[in-house]
Amino acid sequence: MKAIRAVVTASVGDAFTELGRVTQPLMETYARRCGADFVVIDKPALAGRFGLPARYEKFQLFDLLDQYERVLFLDNDILVSPDAPDVFLHVPVEAFAAASETGFSRAALDIELTQQVLGALPWRMPYFNTGVMVASAVHRPLFDPTRSALKAWNAFSQADSRYHPAGEDQAYLNYLVNALTVPFLDLGYRFNHTRVRTDTHRRFHSHFIHYAGPSGFRYGTRIEQMRKDVKVLESPTALSLAQALPRLRWVLDRCDRAFVSYVFARLRGRNA
């Protein structure tokens, strides 16, 4: 008999292990609140078997969806708010769920390139970010690492200079959801608040804060920013203030030493 729920993240390699020390305690606490197991993919399994790069290790979900009825996948650079609701209750079992970023990122290019490589099709679904995904056992075929389409896409994306490795699995999964006409539910940005959004001072209104996307360097390195934000999330008073007074959060972000250093560096660069 299958276990019912799992919250899953992937943490393969030293850099991701360091990130996980910051993010995974909050994920594990959230999993317990949702009545789910917490699973960390920390060993590469697909490179040797299928020749896939490490960035495709989230496709180990193919095996996990044979063990669990439902999974929530979270990228390892996501902080989960202590007041985040149970996302499984928001998603019907038959729906594959993720947050749309159609108006951001490289959606148009990804849609164009995947169809050039894998074949034209009617593109009906919003373009979504794969950092947060809710899937059921019925969606297991999406993560099948033996698909010829995945091998073709991997070969193209490694050879073509227009493509950045970080988005390879995202473009492919978006294509496959359309190709297989999988029922899709848009989770909304509060379940995946990435840095493609410009309102970073409102990030504490969101349930899952995702430190992917542009502009993170303005507030220090990614892990530095996350460590600072964990302190806010772990303090009920600080979190309440950040949620109630986003303008104050905007000011505090820009008073941060890392942001001030960024501003002065930009000014020196302009005057050089």
DSSP sequence for 217-249: TBTB-HHHHHHHHHHHHT-HHHHHHHHH-HHHH
pLDDT range class, residue 100, cuts 50, 70, 90: very high
Query: Is residue 1 classed as helix, strand or coil in its secondary structure?
Result: coil
CATH class of 3-189: alpha beta
pLDDT band with cut points at 50, 70 and 90 for residue 214: low
pLDDT digits (tens, 9 = 90+) for 32-56: 999 999 999 999 898 777 878 878 9
Secondary structure (DSSP) of 119-155: ------SPPEEEEEEEEEGGGGGGG-TT-HHHHHHHH
- Over 60: is that where the pLDDT of 215 sits? no
Top-confidence range, 52-56, 208-212, 235-239: 235-239
Please state, rounded to an integer, the average pLDDT across all residues of the chain.
90
Check whether 68 has a pLDDT greater than 70: yes
Mean pLDDT of 142-158: 92
Would you list the domain boundaries of the chain?
Answer: 3-189
- Read off the pLDDT of residues 158-191 as tens digits, 9 standing for 90 and up: 777 666 655 689 999 999 999 999 999 999 999 9
pLDDT for residue 267: 80
> How many whole angstroms separate alpha carbon 146 and alpha carbon 46?
10
Give the confidence band of 219 by pLDDT, cuts at 50, 70, 90.
confident
